[in-house]
Structure 1
Amino acid sequence: MSRLADGIESVQLGMAKQLLEHADEMLHDPREVTRDQLGYVTRCLTASLRDVHRIAESRGSRLAAVADGMRDEPSPGTEPPVR
């Protein structure tokens, strides 16, 4: 399941990168961009940012869980904590 999630995240991040590049191109000469085009790209950027934020939170949670698990394990050459 985590590989599937990683694959989906990879696609979402790639799409976000492409969308940013497209927005940069549009804003290079704003006189050629219509209000509707600007509104559409803004909605797409908002959705993409939401996806990227969710990915960052998910990865942060996974890293925190790994770090918590590592704190429970004794370092090599030390005694395990008494519980």
Structure 2
Amino acid sequence: MPNAAARVFVRLLPWTSPDGKPCFLAGDGTGYVSRIADQVEEEQLSSAGDLIDEARRVLAALAWTPGELHLLAVELTAALADVRRVAKSRGGRLTALGPASVHT
């Protein structure tokens, strides 16, 4: 018999379906897919940080081509979308835990 005290949450995953739709996971947050999602989120956040550093270097040089700026904008847009998805997922999980779990 399942543990009645176990809580089930719906988590927005850090990837989309092949047709671009959001993917969700229902569970207690401890399973294999949850651990993979945690790893992917950490990689996405780390990549965004690296990209911010690169953008600062490129922009500080004051000598870039339109192609370099375009590529930078494309990469920053993708990273921002990933970070936004991570923030929405983590915010949703905090909300599901209730106000006592959110510390200011």
Given the two structures, how large is their TM-score scaled by the length of structure 1?
0.77
- AA paired with 1:15? S
What is the CA–CA distance in structure 1 between the aligned matches of 2:61 and 2:75, rounded to whole Å?
A: 19
Structure 1: stretches of 5+ with no match in the other structure: 71-83
1:37 to 41, 60, 68: 68
Select which of 35, 39, 55 maps to 1:3. 35
User: Given the alignment of the two structures, is residue 59 of structure 1 paired with residue 90 of structure 2, yes or no?
Assistant: yes
The C-alpha deviation readout for 1:37-69, integer Å capped at 9, x for no partner, is 00000110001000000000000001111117x
Matched pairs, number: 68
Q: Matched residues in 2 for 1:38 and 1:66: separation?
A: 42
Q: Which has the larger radius of gyration?
A: 1
Secondary structure of 2:87's counterpart equals: helix
Structure holding more helix per residue: 1
Query: If each structure's strand is expressed as a fraction of its own residues, which one has the higher value?
Result: 2
Give 3-state SS (helix, strand or coil) of 1:33's partner: coil
Alignment of 1:14 with 2:46, yes or no, is yes
The runs of 4+ residues in structure 1 deviating greater than 6 Å are none
**What TM-score, normalized to structure 2?**
0.62
How far residue 3 of structure 1 moved from its aligned partner, in angstroms, is 1.0
In 2, Cα distance between equivalents of 1:62 and 1:5: 13
RMSD: 1.2
Write the distance in 1 (CA, Å) between the matches of 2:83 and 2:55: 16
